[in-house]
A = this chain, B = another copy of it.
Amino acid sequence: MRFEVLILGSSSATPIYGRHPTAQLINVNEQLYLVDCGEGTQVQLIKYGIKSNRIKHIFISHLHGDHYLGLIGLLSSMHLVGRKEEVHVYGPAALEEIINIHFLHSQTVLRYPLYVHATQDESAEMIFENEHLQVSSFPLDHRIVCTGFRFDEKKRLPTIDRAKTEALGVPTAYLPLIKRGHDYTAPDGTVHRWQNLTLDPPVPRSYAYCSDTVMTPSYLPYIRKVDLLYHEATFLHNMLDRARDTYHTTALQAGEIAVEVQAKKLLIGHYSARYKDLKPLLEESKTVFEATQLALEGSWYSV
C-alpha cells in the first residue's frame, strides 16, 4: 500500500530561491491528503501533475499566512472547475470565519459541500479515520495556536498463506473468514487454526508532521516511534536564541527530537530565507541523526 509524502512548499514565511511556503501532499493508498496550504499551493499542485480534485481532506496546522494563504484560492478553483464532491478542512476554529468572509465578499456559493472542522491545541485528538488510515492532531508550541498531525495506517488483516490453503483445498469463500480470525474445519473434521493459515500483515506505518514549533518535551509523546517524522528546522543551531524567540526549531534540535522519539527517518524543512544553500542544515541534523533528509519541493518521500 502506497504511503508517501510529496513536498509542495519547503520555505518559511518569506518565499525565496524558488522555494514556496509550506504545503505537503500525503498519498495513502491513492487517497490524497493535503497538509498545510501556503500561498501558491494550487500552482505547485499543477506543476507536479496532481489533480486537486483528488484531494478531499485538508489539514491546516495554524493561521500564520505561510501555512494557509493558498487555501481560499484552492477552494475557489475547485468550485470553478465544477467540483461536486465534498471537501473537509481541519484547522483552528477561526479558519471557518476567514473562509466565510472571503466567500461572502466574493459572493461565491460553492457548488460542493465544504465542511470546516475546528481543531484544538489542548490535547491530542483523532480527527479523521477511514478503512486504512487514522489522522490525529496534537498540540505544538508556537506563537499562536498550532497543531501537528499524525497519520497512522490502521492495522491490516493478516494475509492468507496461499500455499497452505491451496494444499488443504480450503474453498475460496472461507478465506475472508479466516483472515478475520475464524478457524477452518476441514471436511474430515480436522480443525486448522487461522493463525496457521495466515501470514502477519505488514506492520502499520506512521507519519508525523510538526509544522512550526519551539522544541519542548510536551509534544514528543505524540510523535513516538513514527516511521517518518517531518519536523521544521528553520534555523541552524548558531541561531538558537532567534529560534526560541520566534518559536521555531534548529536543525540540530530536529535531529535530537528524532533520536529522542526513536523515529526511523527524519525530514526537515521550513527553511529560513537566509539559507540559500541547505546542506549545512542537513549536515547539522545528521551529526545526531543520520537518517535525515532535506524536504525538497517536487520530491516524494516514502513513509
A residues near B, CB below 8 A?
Answer: 13-16, 20-21, 39-40, 42-43, 46, 63-66, 69-70, 72-73, 76-77, 80-81, 92, 94, 97-98, 101-102, 105-107, 143-144
Contacts and interface: CB of A to CB of B under 8 A. Distances in A.
A77 B107 contact: no
Contact of A98 (B14, B39, B94, B105): B105
B101 A97 contact: yes
A105 B101 contact: no
In the complex, the 9 A-B pairs of residues with the closest C-beta atoms, listed nearest first? A39-B73, A94-B105, A63-B105, A40-B40, A65-B76, A69-B73, A107-B144, A64-B106, A63-B106
6 contacts: A14-B81, A39-B42, A40-B40, A65-B76, A92-B105, A97-B101
B69 A13 contact: no
B144 A106 contact: yes
B65 A13 contact: no
Contacts of A94: 101, 105
A39 B73 CA distance: 7
B63 A14 contact: no
Given A20-B43, A39-B40, A63-B106, 9 more contacts: A16-B46, A39-B69, A39-B70, A63-B105, A65-B76, A97-B105, A98-B105, A101-B101, A107-B144
A123 B115 CA distance: 40
Contacts of A107: 143-144
Contacts of A106: 63-65, 144
Copies of this chain, whole number:
2
Which of A39, A70, A76, A144 is packed against the most chain B CB atoms within 10 Å? A39
Contacts of A63: 102, 105-106
A72 B69 CA distance: 8
Contacts of A98: 101-102, 105
Nearest to A65: B76
A80 B105 CA distance: 28
A164 to B, nearest CB: 54
A40 B69 CA distance: 10
Contacts of A65: 72-73, 76, 102, 106
Nearest to A145: B105
A107 B144 CA distance: 7
Contact of A46 (B15, B43, B143): B15
Given A65-B73, A102-B65, A143-B107, A80 B43 contact: no
A115 to B, nearest CB: 20
Contact of A80 (B14, B76, B77, B92): B14
A63 B21 CA distance: 23
A16 to B, nearest CB: 6
Contacts of A39: 39-40, 42-43, 69-70, 73
